[in-house]
């Protein structure tokens, strides 16, 4: 009997990439590949790259080169690039990085097993020629669903794509294989984006916005619950647009209730929200639905009107502050985070001061700050008014310091409040997890005191007694274990 082929998936970038990797893992396992954690123990190392900003692209290249080094020291025979950077640059990446034995685009995902086998056997699969994926689907959103079957949509794997007999044989079926045992997992609501932000290249290589069918999302959530997942995070390029191509822009509000009702799922979190598309009904659903945490990941990017217009976005400081007030009037401890770009072409000192004013008064729990840099193929790359690098660096440092101060201050305001903590790690007597206002990876942690016997995946009620930056220290409330209808899930705690 021939030795099983082994493959390791190395994932960079955002939670959406993590979902894509687990779909690739599901496809490969269904075709007989053995998945291993350590790339040095794999016949093929597949690097799921990120192509969003320059730093992420550098990390992706470094990961490919590191995997290539394994060919001289371990079992690894081939290194293959997939993901956003591979899709965005295709043949250009292959020519610039001959260390990669293959560069596969999204169109290759459905045949990933055959592609890897060809490469492993010494064959050559031509890297794809990048194209504008926005042109693959109809311009009108409601016409897209009929055409979607002909377009590769990573992370949209449906049960009918699975061969018969692939586990689970009964119950919810999904084209996905978990690559860790975390009690938290992301689910893709949609792919692509119809917005035309002048600094962003994502729509060109991820395509136009298209929603997944609610039944597929619910089946995947039920399947994840069966895998031990207790918190699901809904991700896409723009969750506030969910349902518009299905004929119901309010579909997310209904879907949230249905996901929260799935047995085993105790916390539902929504990420990637556009402020300009927030609507009263969605705010109500996110602040009052049992099982849905009042957590608002709002993509503000800036708050000075002139800069936002050049970004092809909408709003201003006062409108954004009013949005946050509306949210907190309904859920006073609601969590809120955002990212901001400083040094955008044409940004004046007055514009920067306006952004400082917003961050000073917004009370955000987590803030990401990035200095502007040109991205290939974006409108902003053609703009005049580019700022000197030293000015961008100075503003980046200044706003980062302000953001650190404001988020630490927000954390301190939580001292004395009750939180419900999902335990994610227990090591050497230290119990760490996240309160409802803390999203995975980005928003800090909560250290739980007095919970030495806690287990990963449990929810525990606690009182915040201290902070360290955005991180909290909370003391266990004895003999009370949080459940699906705990206070945090109803909006009383963020």
Task: Say whether 14 counts as a known binding-site residue.
Answer: yes
Task: Say whether 486 counts as a known binding-site residue.
Answer: no
Task: Say whether 292 counts as a known binding-site residue.
Answer: no
**Closest CA relative to residue 83, chosen from 165, 146, 32, 12:** 12
What is the token pair recorded at 455?
């287990």
Instruction: Give the gyration radius of the chain's Cα atoms.
Output: 23
| C-alpha triplet 12, 219, 162: angle, nearest 5° | 75
Of the CA atoms within 13 Å of residue 432, those in its CB half-sphere come to 12
What is the token pair recorded at 179?
């690559």
Task: Say whether 49 counts as a known binding-site residue.
Answer: no
Task: Say whether 202 counts as a known binding-site residue.
Answer: no
Those residues whose C-beta lies under 8 Å from the C-beta of residue 403, and which sit 6 or more positions away, are 340, 359, 364, 367, 369
Task: Say whether 234 counts as a known binding-site residue.
Answer: no
Q: Give the separation between CA 360 and CA 127, rounded to whole angstroms.
A: 48
What is the token pair recorded at 290?
């049992």
What's the DSSP call for residue 301?
B
- Continuous segment of H or E residues that includes residue 204: helix 202-206
DSSP string of 110-155? Answer: GGHHHHHHHHHTT---PPPPP--GGGGS-SSGGGHHHHGGGS--TT
Q: Give the separation between CA 269 and CA 295, rounded to whole angstroms.
A: 7
Strands 267-270 and 335-342, by their bridges, are unpaired
Map tokens 């005191």 to a residue.
449
Q: Give the separation between CA 145 and CA 357, rounded to whole angstroms.
A: 43
**Closest CA relative to residue 176, chosen from 46, 10, 186:** 186
Q: From edge to edge, which strands make up the β-sheet containing 44-49?
A: 34-35, 6-11, 44-49, 78-82, 102-103
**Binding residue positions:** 14, 50, 84, 193, 197, 200
**Binding residue positions for [4Fe-4S] cluster:** 14, 50, 84, 193, 197, 200
């Amino acid at each position: 009997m021939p030795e099983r082929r082994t493959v390791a998936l190395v994932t960079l970038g955002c939670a959406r990439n993590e979902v894509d990797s687990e779909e690739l893992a599901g496809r490969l396992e269904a075709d007989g590949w053995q998945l291993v954690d350590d790339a040095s123990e794999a016949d093929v190392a597949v690097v799921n790259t990120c192509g969003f900003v320059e730093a992420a692209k550098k990390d992706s290249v470094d990961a490919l080169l590191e995997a290539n080094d394994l060919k001289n020291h371990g079992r690894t025979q081939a290194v293959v690039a997939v993901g956003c950077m591979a899709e965005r640059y295709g043949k250009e990446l292959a020519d610039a990085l001959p260390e990669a034995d293959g560069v596969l685009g999204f169109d290759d995902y459905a045949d990933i097993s055959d592609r890897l086998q060809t490469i492993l056997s010494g064959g050559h699969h031509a890297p794809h020629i990048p194209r504008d994926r926005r042109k693959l689907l109809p311009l009108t959103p409601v016409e897209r669903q009929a055409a979607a079957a002909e377009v590769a949509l990573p992370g949209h794997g449906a049960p009918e794509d699975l061969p018969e007999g692939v586990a689970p044989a009964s119950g919810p079926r999904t084209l996905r294989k978990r690559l860790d045992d975390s009690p938290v997992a992301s689910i893709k609501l949609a792919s692509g984006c119809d917005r035309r932000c002048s600094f962003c290249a994502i729509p060109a290589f991820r395509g136009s916005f298209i929603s997944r069918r609610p039944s597929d999302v619910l089946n995947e959530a039920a399947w994840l619950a069966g895998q031990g997942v207790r918190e699901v995070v809904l991700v896409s390029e723009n969750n506030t647009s969910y349902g518009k191509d299905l004929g119901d822009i309010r579909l997310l509000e209904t879907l949230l209730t249905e996901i929260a009702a799935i047995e085993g799922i105790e916390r539902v979190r929504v990420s990637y929200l556009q402020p300009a598309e927030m609507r009263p009904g969605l705010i109500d659903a996110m602040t009052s639905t049992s099982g849905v945490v009042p957590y608002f990941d709002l993509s503000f990017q800036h708050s000075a009107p002139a800069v936002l217009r050049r970004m092809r976005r909408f709003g201003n400081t006062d409108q954004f502050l009013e949005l946050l007030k509306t949210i907190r009037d309904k859920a006073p401890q609601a969590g809120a985070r955002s990212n901001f770009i400083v040094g955008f072409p044409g940004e004046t000192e007055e514009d920067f001061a306006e952004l400082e004013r917003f961050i000073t008064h917004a009370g955000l729990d987590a803030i990401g700050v990035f200095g502007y840099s040109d991205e290939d193929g974006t409108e902003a790359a053609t703009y005049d008014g580019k700022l000197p690098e030293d000015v961008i660096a100075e503003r980046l440092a200044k706003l980062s310091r302000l953001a650190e101060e404001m988020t630490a201050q927000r954390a301190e305001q939580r001292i004395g409040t009750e939180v419900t903590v999902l335990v994610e790690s227990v090591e050497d007597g230290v119990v760490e997890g996240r309160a409802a206002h803390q999203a995975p990876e980005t928003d800090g942690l909560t250290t739980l005191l007095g919970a030495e016997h806690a287990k990963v995946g449990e929810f525990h009620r606690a009182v915040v007694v201290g902070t360290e930056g955005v991180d909290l220290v909370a003391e266990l409330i004895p003999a009370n274990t949080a459940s699906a209808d705990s206070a945090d899930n109803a909006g009383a705690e963020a």
